[in-house]
Structure 1
Amino acid sequence: MAREFGSVGVIGLGTMGSGIAEVLARSGIAVVAVEVDAEGIERGREHLNRSTQRAVDKEKIDAKAREALLGRITWTESLADLAGVDLVIEAVPESLELKSRIFAEVDEIVGAETIICSNTSSLSVTEIGVRTKRPGKVVGMHFFNPAPVQKLVEIVRTVVTEPAVIEEVVAFVEKLGKTPVVVGDRAGFIANALLFGYLNHAVTMYEQSYASREDLDAAMRYGCNYPMGPLQLLDLIGLDTAYEILESMYRQSRNRLHAPAPLLKQMITAGLCGRKTGRGFYSYDGPDSPNVVADAESAAAAIDTATARPIRSVGVVGTGTMATGIVEVLAKSGYPVVLRARSTEKAAAALAKVRKSLDKQVSKGRLEESAAEEIVGRITPAAEFSALAQVDIVIEAVAEELPIKQEVFAALDKVAKPGAILATTTSSLPVVECAAATSRPADVIGMHFFNPAPVMKLVEVVRTIATASDVVATVHALSEKVRKHPVHCADRAGFITNALLFPYLNDAVNMLEAHYATADDIDTAMKVGCGLPMGPFELLDVVGLDVSLAIERTLYNEFREAGYSPAPLLEHLVTAGRLGRKTGNGFRAY
């Protein structure tokens, strides 16, 4: 049975330390709160007063409970007052030298069985722990900000941490009403190791003018249902904080993908640190304000749709889930649609799929029966390419194999009228390779819908080196007319969303393969700590491990970046036929 921790010391009363002290006191624990001077204590006390008063104002606790909570905290400037505590949590600034010195001092003061924890978010717990005579009783206990609100706590074990200590700390964190995950002592632990590699990648994309800041952020919000885009999140975290975390991770991992993008250093030097300074990737109406205001970059990123070609009718080639979803989206928006399949039977079956989707919406009261009939009436099934001769744009949605797509584009080139746009909804193949199969490369573009197309808001508009600007404007306008959010990027493997998403998923597989954390703890860390809708292994199993591997191979072959090389574990699972939910086995059994 895990022992009780009746009294806990907290060293450092900044935002994190005072938040941790509040969490402990709320759980009925006596807290010894230590700061370096009276000014620090006053700052911590004021932070706690404000935080607990907000809780009273929101009726989360009453005034009596607040008084009792504050009464459990003893404030002191002396580490010697920690002598009788059962556990110590250090929450001073992220300096290895400072933390190590404090641990060495605390080690001489507290009892032999006292556990000493560091709230570090990125430094090596092992390096801190070896400065004591009890490295087996040293662990990382990384709370997330704000500590009273955020549920996740990363418990970081070193190679010498005693297993019983980990069990006791996990039980203690659960008693606090938090969600613990256990991870080995590696750069960034779980959440930061996976999150900051992704954020850094987004900065590099922006630095290279691959996509605008608005499109990078919108792609991840609408394409992956993330609560914030990467550049918005960096502005919230603070670019200087992000830089320090990446620097610390890079020093430990030597992974080039953790090396901070040069643009970060330039922005920090210029004082553009994010919301706290009023300017970062975006401009705000003042320091510490969340309100974004327009600036010169906002206007530059806008797409002028005045040159858009008229779209009166649309063709879709394909009969799979994506094709029928796109047909439904277009017909719902009032466009006559020619649905071309390889045979009359396949075309009829695809139309039946659309009808089934609409019937489901009617049964749920989301659509009138008469409206469903009108939508179906706008769809013309066909088995010949010649049926597409008069449409203004054709969207190809066949199998994700380049030879098949090139064959389709060559056939479309022969029948489509002059000025008709030929679009592909490929998620990772080079659009220019499809254009090369035609005599009209200027009219070829990527129009990547997300699955399920009737639900997902995002469309990636992918311009090749040859695509005409009025074609880009036309597809942008069409995306908006079918109530989607278009984002723009150049023709590069993965476009925006997959190029940011799949290296992150690959990092998670590498982390699991290295036995730093379990799949459950990694998924929990990203959902609870970062607010993501799914953990990486849940998502991989849904996408399909074979599909994921194919995308990762495409990214690696395009960029030749060692960090993008598919994790061996993913390769082995695919070889073994464990492809995720569709086969009943992937990273988990279903």
Structure 2
Amino acid sequence: MTTSPESSARTFSTIGVVGLGTMGAGIAEVFARHGYTVVGAEKDDEALERGRQHLEHSTDRAVKRGKLTEEEQAGLLGRITLTTALADLADADLVIEAVVESMDVKKAIFRELDGIVAPDAVLATNTSSLSVTELSTATARPGRVVGVHFFNPAPVQDLVEIVRTVVTEEAVLADVKALVEALGKNPVVCGDKAGFIANTLLFGYLNHAVAMYEGKYASREDIDAAMRYGCGYPMGPLALLDLIGLDTAYEILETMYRQGRDRLHAPSPVLKQMVTAGLLGRKTGRGFYTYEAPDSPVVVPDDKTPSADEKPELRRDIRSVGVVGTGTMATGIIEVFAKSGFDVTYVGRSQDKVDGVVAAITKSFDKQIQRGRATEETKTEVLGRLTGSISLDDLADVDIVVEAIAEDLAVKTTLFANLDDICKPGAILATTTSSLPIIACAQATSRPQDVVGMHFFNPAPIMKLVEVVSTVSTSEDVTETTRALCERVGKVAVSCADRAGFIVNALLFPYLNDAVKMLEAHYATADDIDTAMKQGCALPMGPFELLDVVGNDVSLAIQRELYLEFREPGFAPAPLLEHLVTAGYLGRKTKRGFRDYSAR
């Protein structure tokens, strides 16, 4: 099978796979499914039998799901020869090693293979964190050694990271990339650095989430819910760590830290403690969560699970709502409360802006009516609950005021001082700030116990998450009432303390900043980094897509706030991000950011 019709046109016909665990067996299956002859090697007969079972079970599942016919399954398995002798790989054009993550074990295999395969055969490692360059030194021809990092499960996941060392031959790199494309996979090319693209960015984020949990900043449930509902991630970070295995995560972080000395990759102490205690995640039945049984995905209650008796209730009577602001976020919040049956008084700076809110909500309803998701009667009811005003004094009798004006602390504190004078005793004063200190708003009033953060996500009518942020002064009944109110309007509330970035932004933006640093270092292209995170980690958007949507100026402002608050060197905004903002390349809104949108 010729995989590269241009240039060297290297032919790959026989593929060797060393190690037939879940990953190795999956790689063997992928090649055999595409017509290649595969020789799979294991250390002994027992391991070989386990590998055979992996292959049979995986292809049986594919048959049951209609992905393979029984004839195709028989043909696929017939193309795979199993052996315990590495000498049987002598005719392989490419050998992929997928054994345990041990440098010594892998080197020994490479050293032996070097004397078995043909001089022009390519040797590849599926390592996710070890140095491909160091592995290549075990051979006489390091230029033909490359990293080919499949993601688990290999038959399903489309991403493959192709890792080049400083001595990898360009022809080898091009031929292996073409081979991976012939498998229907999406290869991304990167340099030889622990973690490569996906794990470098993913595990920094996961480690940060562990530190957040370890510091008791938020509960495991709230951290995970925040990232699922606030960012659309398929799993929360702590649940994902349980799936990966805490021992595996610890080893990857430890390897990344030893190689890069980035403090953000130094494993959080609680990770080592949990690994030592045998709390490895799903595979042992207990990690950050407790599971029904080892290897079960079913979470069961444990001593950290909130009881049904702890369900938040409205400790203060909330019948009417005030909103200050008429922008996109404010309008969305007004719509959310009015749709949930609350009378809403909203205040804008001019009558035109006040009228614009009604027009925007009317337009929103008209779209929903056209799609059959709302009725004219509902629209009339909701609009009937709205009272617009240009005077803050009209908020005197509301039970809660939600502020959604510009992210300017001086403007917000002045507003809170005014609301303190105007609003009735016991009214809750909430801010939707995403990055400013809520305590500063609280201290502008004579009732700091009544001030709370209520951070909606944009667009408010669609996004489920609300971060409920308590300051050191916020009373418990205000926090509980705000959480209960979020549930009443159909939102998922998570609790945290008044700290820059709260949960979502504190986890999201350092990850985005790390991606910019990776691009800045010419480690990989923006396209490859985006592809790696979308396909390797199942994220809804790649980091550069997301940065251009959020706005590079907004991202830079948030990253600066995080850096100023935590004084963590790794949080310092990437110079490239600052340069783009200085140049006016803010993303989609200016038609240019990390990508050029002028022709789109």
Return the TM-score normalized by structure 2. Answer: 0.97
**Aligned mate of 2:255, from 239, 243, 248:** 248
**Shift in Å, 1:361:** 1.4
What is residue 101 of structure 1 aligned with on the other side?
108
Structure-2 residue corresponding to 1:317: 324
Letter in 2 for 1:18: A
Q: How does 1:189-588 map to 2 (within 5 A)?
A: 189-299=196-306, 303-306=310-313, 308-588=315-595
Q: Matched residues in 2 for 1:447 and 1:500: separation?
A: 18
Q: Deviations over 1:326-352 (max 9, x none)?
A: 000000001000110112222112222
- Cα distance change, pair 260–301 in 1 and its aligned pair in 2 (3 A): farther
Change (3 A) 1:325 1:302: farther
Cα distance, 1:377 vs structure 2: 1.0
Percent of residue pairs bearing the same amino acid type: 67
What residue number does 2:39 align with? 32
| Greater mean alpha carbon deviation, residues 383-392 or residues 289-298 | 289-298
Partner of residue 131 from structure 1, selected from 113, 138, 143: 138
For 2:258 and 2:590, how far apart are their aligned partners in 1? 41
| Counterpart AA for 2:576 | L
Where 1:531 maps in the other structure, the secondary structure is coil
Root-mean-square deviation (CA), in Å? 1.1
Report the Cα offset of residue 4 of structure 1: 2.5
Inter-partner Cα distance in structure 1 for 2:289 and 2:124: 37
> Does the aligned pair in 1 maintain the 2:314–2:482 contact within 8 Å?
no
> CA–CA distance in 1 between the matches of 2:457 and 2:562?
19
Q: CA deviation at 1:499?
A: 0.4
- The alignment status of 1:177 with 2:193, answered yes or no, reads no
SS at match of 1:494: coil
Q: Deviations over 1:142-182 (max 9, x none)?
A: 01111111111100011111122111111100111111111
Shift of residue 514 of structure 1? 0.6
Give the distance between the partners of 2:127 and 2:163, measured in 1 at CA: 10
The offset of 1:354, in angstroms, is 1.9
Shift of 1:59: 2.0
Q: 1:490 to 1:557 in 2, by over 3 A?
A: same
Distance 1:226 1:303 in 2: 27
- Are 1:303 and 1:473, in contact at CA under 8 Å, matched by a contact in 2? no
SS at 1:585's partner residue? coil
For 2:596 and 2:446, the matched residues in 1 are separated by 49
Is the 1:82–1:109 contact (alpha carbons within 8 Å) kept by the matching residues of 2? yes
The answer to whether the Cα contact below 8 Å between 2:314 and 2:484 also exists between their aligned partners in 1 is no
Corresponding residue number in structure 1 for 2:78: 71
| Structure 1, 336-345 or 545-554: larger mean CA deviation | 336-345
Q: Return the offset for 1:505.
A: 0.4
Deviates more, 1:358-367 or 1:244-253: 358-367
Q: Aligned in 2, Cα 1:301/1:277: closer, same or farther, shift over 3 Å?
A: farther
Q: What is the one-letter code of the residue matched to 2:41?
A: V
Which residue in 2 is equivalent to 1:80? 87
**Paired residue for 1:147, among 142, 154, 159?**
154
Give SS of 1:314's match: strand
| CA-CA distance at 1:307 after TM superposition | 6.0
SS at match of 1:299: coil
- Answer whether contact 1:199 1:234 (CA < 8 A) is retained: yes
How many Å separate the matches in 2 of 1:13 and 1:301? 45
The letter of the residue matching 1:466 is S
What is the distance in 2 between the residues matched to 1:303 and 1:525?
40
Contact 2:313–2:484 at 8 Å: present in 1 too?
no
- How far the C-alpha of 1:305 sits from its partner, in A, is 3.0
1:256 is aligned with what amino acid?
A: R
Aligned partners of 1:239 and 1:274 also within 8 Å: yes
- Maintained 8 Å contact 1:212/1:301: no
Residues 90 and 119 of structure 1 are in contact (CA less than 8 Å); yes or no, is this contact kept in structure 2? yes
Deviations 1:14-36 (A, max 9, x none): 11111111111111101111111
Give the number of equivalent residue pairs.
590
Equivalent in 84, 89, 99 of residue 96 of structure 2: 89
Provide closer, same or farther for how the CA distance between residues 39 and 276 of structure 1 changes in structure 2, counting only shifts above 3 A.
same
* Contact 2:341 2:382 (C-alpha < 8 Å) held by counterparts: yes
Query: What does residue 3 of structure 2 align with?
Result: none
Q: Which residue of 2 aligns with 1:10?
A: 17
Q: Which whole-Å deviations, capped at 9, do the CAs of 1:398-454 have from their partners, x for residues lacking one?
A: 011111111111111110000000000001111101111111100000000000000
Structure-2 separation of matches of 1:351 and 1:299: 40
Q: Report SS of the residue matched to 2:304.
A: helix
Distance 2:586 2:465 in 1: 26
